[in-house]
Amino acid sequence: MARAICCTRSWRNPAGRRRTARRTCWPTSGEPGRAAARSEDHADRCPLVRVVLGVGYRGQSYQGWQSQQSGNTVQDKLEGALARFADGPLRTVCAGRTDAGVHALNQVVHLDTPMDRADSSWVRGTNRFLPPDIAVQWCLLKDDTFHARYGAIGRRYVYVLLESAVRPAVEAGSVGWSFRPLDGDAMRSAARVLLGEHDFSAFRSAECQATTPVKTLRAITISRRGAYWRFEFDANAFLHHMVRNLMGSLLAVGAGTRSEGWLIDVLASKDRALAAPTFPADGLYFVGPYYDAVHAIPDRTAAMDWLP
């Protein structure tokens, strides 16, 4: 059976209630000439809207963001929910692909669709079909001048770490853990070595697909509240496992097993084998991307007030 593409338009009835009607559907297969003409006609009548979503999720149960055959990724769950809401497949583009186990507070995603829905409808309708640990936080309707990935001018990650002789229980999965006492001054001094534009090959995973290992690390902020440390990383972009690898090396300096001079040598070596082991994903949060102010993309969600 030939599939069809359909255009929807909404209006308000005299009572002020929003209603939606489905326009005529045009087949996407059949005679080539007619299919092309109908596709052009559809494009003229139903211009695509770029729907931009802010998504929060706990990453413990998923194999990262990017779609996989298993179907157990955040992208798979989100696109499945969108398909049920929109009654058809929709493909998403995200600002930053997170690893398995990594959480996100404000992952920015866009998709293109001819559907005409209010932004609040996208939030409520999609959340209806999502599991409890994934939720759309907000929605904006844009044109194709906005791009979730390529339009981002920076990205932020936060690691929350418990320093304790005893492993976390209530916070398991939500925080990282160091059983060794940590020297904050030593870690802050070492972090300054990493700032600026560098070749971060020493902190890049073997599976990284980035075209260049050169990134600009704008800030590393290290603070403490009680037994909990907070490490915030701000860069134009990150390599695969870059934050987790940096974290492992900073903690080695903080625990006194490595020196600041060692970190300088590791960075210069561009050799992943010389750096500390990759730190676990527990406690790592993708805070989100940020964009030029002209796009007016939200850079905060309520969960940011919860994060230590």
Contact 214, 242 (CB under 8 A): no
Q: Give the ranges where 210-297 is alpha helix by DSSP (H).
A: 242-254, 260-269
Q: Give the ranges where 205-254 is alpha helix by DSSP (H).
A: 242-254
Q: What is the DSSP letter of 97?
A: P
Using only C-alpha atoms, the chain has a radius of gyration, in whole angstroms, of: 23
Distance CA 34, CA 119 (A): 34
Report in angstroms the alpha-carbon separations of 65 from 181, 196, 233: 33, 28, 20
- Tokens at 46, concatenated: 């139903």
Distance CA 78, CA 40 (A): 29
Phi then psi for 305, rounded to 5 degrees?
A: -75, -20
- Tokens at 239, concatenated: 């390599």
Catalytic (active-site) positions: 99
Contact 192, 179 (CB under 8 A): no
Contact 22, 56 (CB under 8 A): no
Q: What HEC string does 75-86 produce? A: HHHHHHHHHHHH
- Tokens at 108, concatenated: 């920015």
